[in-house]
């Protein structure tokens, strides 16, 4: 059996997001997994990443977040709330992020959780090697991640030709630029659309669909992002000329 961390970002304990988190927790526990929840609003999580996160500064004259993050992580001087969440993260075999899509991204409180918890030396700058270990490798390698998102607009708005753009491309900075960057295997996003118009039947259908996704959390194929060190980026920066020749855009980073 596995350990799963559920991270929730919604201020209303009666919201659909809160209900979906409970559904995920129930299903995962029914499968025998150990589940830990971080309800960020309930925890009154400090979302702002600032000098208060570095009580023992490396350099008092200039605030370099990379340098201070690495210094605090290495020397065990991070605030206790960060240490607690990092322990949950590192113990987890999979992480489920449950949140509403606000302005085409996650709520600020969840972004702040990532900024503060994904420290230098842990999620990036792995082994103090700069960008050598990223995009498929890193401190979070071996863990799975999935976004479970509620969306206010209809699904048609988020299709490849929809007015808002394709959902997976809108979430690319999170799935690819944050989670895969730090080594995680990222599963296709679970999305509930048009949530303000869902009736009781629709909500139950959505919950059933999420239960099914949780049952296959450790079996589903991850998004096939290209790894940095697999040979397709010869200089670790630019995709090789012979791969996806003539193509540009986010899609070229998918096999």
The CB density around residue 152, as the number of other CB atoms within 10 Å, is 13
pLDDT at residue number 110: 98
Residues 108 and 59 sit within 8 Å (Cβ to Cβ)? no
Q: How far is CA 146 from the centre of its chain?
A: 7
Residues 158 and 151 sit within 8 Å (Cβ to Cβ)? yes
Query: Helix 200-215 and helix 16-30: axis angle, to 10°?
Result: 40
Residues 248 and 130 in one domain: no
Residues 243 and 139 in one domain: no
Residue 185 belongs to a domain with what CATH number?
Answer: 3.40.50.360
Residues 97 and 122 in one domain: yes
Residues 123 and 209 in one domain: yes
Distance CA 126, CA 110 (A): 22
pLDDT at residue number 65: 95
Residues 199 and 237 in one domain: no
Quick one: tokens of 173?
């900075």
Host domain of residue 251: 224-255
The closest of 59, 61, 85 to 72, measured between CA atoms, is 59
Residues 130 and 245 in one domain: no
Residues 18 and 68 in one domain: yes
Kindly give the residue spans of alpha helices, DSSP state H, lying in the chain. Answer: 16-30, 65-74, 80-91, 108-117, 167-170, 172-174, 200-215
Residues 198 and 229 in one domain: no
Residues 23 and 211 sit within 8 Å (Cβ to Cβ)? yes
Please give the tally of structural domains in the chain: 2
What values do phi and psi take at 139, rounded to 5?
-65, -20
Residues 141 and 233 in one domain: no
Quick one: tokens of 145?
């991640």
The closest of 185, 161, 192, 204 to 95, measured between CA atoms, is 185
pLDDT at residue number 91: 98
DSSP label of 120: B
Instruction: Return the HEC string of 134-183.
Output: CCCCCCCCCCEEEEEEECCCCHHHHCCCCCCCCHHHHCHHHHHHHHHCCC
Q: What is the mean pLDDT of each run of 10 residues along the chain (255 residues)?
A: 97 95 98 98 97 95 95 97 98 98 97 98 92 94 98 95 95 98 98 93 96 97 96 94 91 92
Residues 216 and 237 in one domain: no
Distance CA 6, CA 96 (A): 5
Burial 205-237 (b: 16+ CB within 10 A, else e): ebbeebbebbeebeeeeebebbbbeeebbeeee
pLDDT at residue number 246: 87
Helices (H) and strands (E) in the chain, counts: 7, 6
Distance CA 238, CA 249 (A): 13
Residues 116 and 52 in one domain: yes
Residues 114 and 205 in one domain: yes
Distance CA 63, CA 54 (A): 9
pTM of the model: 0.95
Which residue is it, tokens 């304990």? Answer: 13
């Amino acid at each position: 059996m596995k350990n799963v961390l559920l991270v929730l970002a919604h201020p209303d304990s009666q919201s659909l997001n809160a209900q979906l988190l409970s559904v995920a927790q129930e299903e995962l526990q029914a499968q025998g997994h150990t589940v830990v929840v971080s309800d960020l609003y309930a925890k009154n999580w400090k979302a702002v990443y600032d000098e208060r996160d570095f009580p023992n500064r490396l350099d008092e004259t200039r605030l370099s977040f990379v340098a201070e993050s690495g210094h605090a992580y290495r020397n065990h001087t991070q605030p206790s709330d960060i240490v607690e969440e990092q322990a949950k993260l590192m113990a987890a075999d999979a992480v489920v992020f449950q949140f509403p899509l606000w302005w085409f991204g996650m709520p600020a409180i969840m972004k702040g959780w990532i900024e503060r918890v994904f420290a230098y030396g842990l999620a990036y700058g792995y082994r103090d090697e700069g960008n050598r270990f990223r995009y498929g490798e890193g401190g979070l390698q071996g863990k799975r991640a999935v976004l479970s998102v509620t969306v206010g607009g209809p699904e048609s708005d988020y299709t490849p030709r929809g007015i808002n753009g394709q959902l997976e491309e809108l979430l690319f900075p999170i799935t690819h630029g944050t989670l895969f960057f730090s080594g995680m295997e990222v599963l296709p996003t679970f999305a509930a659309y048009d949530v303000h118009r869902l009736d009781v039947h629709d909500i139950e259908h959505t919950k059933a669909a999420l239960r099914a996704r949780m049952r296959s959390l450790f079996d589903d194929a991850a998004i096939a992002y290209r790894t940095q060190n697999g040979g397709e980026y010869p200089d670790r920066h630019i995709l090789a000329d012979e791969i996806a020749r003539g193509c540009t855009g986010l899609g070229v980073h998918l096999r």
